[in-house]
Amino acid sequence: MQTIRIKAPSSDTGPGARQRPSRHGDLLALLGGAAVAVGAVGAMLALTDIDSPLRGPFTLFFLLAAPGAAIGAALRGLDPWGRIVASVSGAVAVNLLVAQAMLALHMWSVRGGVAAVTVIGSLIFLLVLVRRLRGRAPRRRTS
């Protein structure tokens, strides 16, 4: 099967021409923004204890997405499917460990669980950021 491509006008292809982002990149950015918004709404609904039919699904999404995204950011070297599997597995493990620790200490609450998962996800993101910034810093040689 032959693919037909439409060439852009010659005025858009010069050396100073601005390249437009692909529609694929736009869609990924839109989905990422929507995921952040849904997770934030889920966390706020759980922390403020507002009765809403969306509280359960949005909070569950936050509990899986926050540590999953942090772990996925830490595993940049893996191929995409391995990274997805590892980050989802890590998110489930973080949630189970938080729940088990809170139950063992007789401190179980939904708000406390959401807060603990938020803190753990934020710490993982912070460690990834520090590691990346340290890798980019110019190295000084002391001889």
**Who wins on pLDDT, 137 or 111?**
111
pLDDT in tens, 100-126: 999 999 999 989 999 999 999 999 999
Q: Which residues contact 141 (CB under 8 A, 6 or more apart)?
A: none
Q: Domain for residue 38, yes or no? A: yes
Distance (Å, whole) CA 90 – CA 115: 17
Specify the pLDDT at position 92. Answer: 96
Give pLDDT tens digits for 2-59. Answer: 666 665 555 555 555 555 556 777 887 888 888 889 999 999 998 898 888 998 899 9
Q: Say what the pLDDT of residue 86 is.
A: 95
Calpha distance 54→16 (Å, rounded): 48
Tally of domains within the chain: 1
In a domain, 78, yes or no: yes
Residue 60 three-state SS: helix
Rounded Cα distance, 39 and 61, in Å: 6
Range of the domain at 112: 24-136
CB 90 within 8 A of CB 68: yes
Q: Is residue 106 part of a domain?
A: yes
What pTM, to 2 d.p., does this model score? 0.73
Render 93-111 in DSSP notation, one character per residue: HHHHHHHHHHHHTT---HH
Q: What per-residue confidence (pLDDT) applies to 140?
A: 65
- 63 within some domain: yes
Q: Is residue 111 part of a domain?
A: yes
Tell me whether residue 141 is in a domain.
Answer: no
Separation CA 47–CA 66 (nearest Å): 15
